[in-house]
Amino acid sequence: MSIRKIRWFAAALTAGLLAAFPCVLPAGDWPQFRGPGGQGIADSAKPPLSWSETRNVTWKKALPGLGWSSPVIGEGKLWLTTATDKGRSLRVMALDAVSGETLHDIELFHFENPPKINSKNSHASPTPLLEGGRVYVHFGTQGTAALTTAGEVLWKTRELRYYHRHGSSGSPVPAGDLLLINCDGYDLQYVVALEKDTGKIRWKSYRGDSEHSYATSLVIATERGEQLVSPGAGRTVAYDVETGEELWWIRYKGFSNIPKPVTAHGLVYVTTGYFKPTLFAVRLGGSGDVTKSHIAWNYRKGVSHTPSLIVVGDELYMVSDNGIATCLDARTGEEIWRQRLEGAYSASPVLAGGRIYFLNEEGLTTVIKPGREYEKLAESRVAGRTLASIAPVDDMVFLRTDTHLYRIEEQ
């Protein structure tokens, strides 16, 4: 424990604040978009089943500006990005996970005339990556940076040029000494690997004639080595993470892809984007165009445009943007159940404490029990808009709204 935290606990004891701020440092972590494995699963977390504005909230921290990046947590610090001054100032913040105290608030990029974005998006939507004593921050074409967890800026780059129109979305993912990022604009579409130490481009792989997309890729381990499964308009492609070589791909009609793939049972699950998305389960191990040879099954009803999917055991769960939750057999694609949830959805579901948490856009979290019968366990509501995915760590949930960040746990 750091000297600063020891002093804080001593001050808390003196002031009688321990009831308000329990002396528990997060032991687990949530280092990237969708957690440690990038698939929305917190194996050891046991967060509360329910909460409200007045119950199970340890602290509620007002945040400046607007950002839809999800919080990442490690070593007792919580990191997120935001855009202030109407999108002119792009910033990274670090908070003390125990107290909510702001530890760092650093401007990384400044624009007098920030680009236009979709009204539902923000200028700070990609989620940071926390790894090896560093935090990597991405704002799409507006810039990428690396910092130490002490707040020292190591490098910044604006070399990833393309026209995103609706704003940035896809988050960086790690593979060895590289950051892998989708850059799918209206004019150019490519996947790029940046060196973690320098920010320099190691490789860049162009997708060819295509359309815009906003997805985050998934790194998976295969017999042929690590592969980056990257959804894009018209194709999902698996790349060699070291070279950027295209290894296999499937073709479809669709664009503006957002959900991050998930993998289980020797399959990888991808969705095709607008206008009417299809969910494909693709067998791993193919080469070249595997559209006809390696698609195990597909599903077309109530498929998500925005929230990512989640696999728990033998079942795959998803929620459509308009609130239709679906459970499928992950191996066969057989529909097990469908259920309407309240509201519209952008945030991706998470599994924690053996329960699945679905957060809608109006502050409502619906918790269900995984299984082949729909069983709702609880509903919880906070104030504000909620498009960022929640981050479960240990017995806590960190939840971001358009104005605040909450630390939620049993009191």
Q: Is the pLDDT of residue 15 over 80?
A: no
Q: What pLDDT was estimated at residue 25? A: 61
> What's the mean pLDDT in 203-231?
93
Q: Which two tokens stand for residue 228?
A: 């980056």
Q: Is the pLDDT of residue 312 over 50?
A: yes
Cα–Cα separations (whole angstroms), residue 51 to 55, 112, 206, 399, 403: 5, 41, 46, 11, 18
Cα 395 to Cα 48: distance, rounded to the nearest angstrom: 7
Q: Which two tokens stand for residue 50?
A: 């329910």
pLDDT tens digits along 33-58: 999 999 999 989 999 999 999 999 99
| Percent helix, percent strand, percent coil in the chain, to nearest 5 | 5, 45, 55
Q: Is the pLDDT of residue 19 over 80?
A: no
> How many other C-beta atoms can be found within 10 angstroms of the C-beta atom of residue 258?
23
Cα–Cα separations (whole angstroms), residue 196 to 90, 104, 137, 366: 20, 21, 11, 38
Q: Is the pLDDT of residue 232 over 90?
A: yes
Q: What pLDDT was estimated at residue 24? A: 59
Q: What pLDDT was estimated at residue 165? A: 85
Residue for token pair 């906070």: 382
Q: What pLDDT was estimated at residue 43? A: 86
Closest CA to 191 of 172, 176, 169, 177: 172
Cα–Cα separations (whole angstroms), residue 23 to 16, 97, 191: 12, 11, 43
Q: What pLDDT was estimated at residue 208? A: 81
| Average confidence score pLDDT of the chain | 93
Contact 108, 123 (CB under 8 A): no
Q: What pLDDT was estimated at residue 267? A: 98
Long-range contacts from 246-252, C-beta under 8 angstroms, 24+ separation: 246/205, 247/287, 248/286, 248/287, 248/288, 248/289, 248/290, 248/294, 249/288, 249/289, 249/290, 249/291, 250/280, 250/282, 250/289, 250/290, 250/291, 250/294, 250/295, 251/289, 251/291, 252/278, 252/280, 252/291
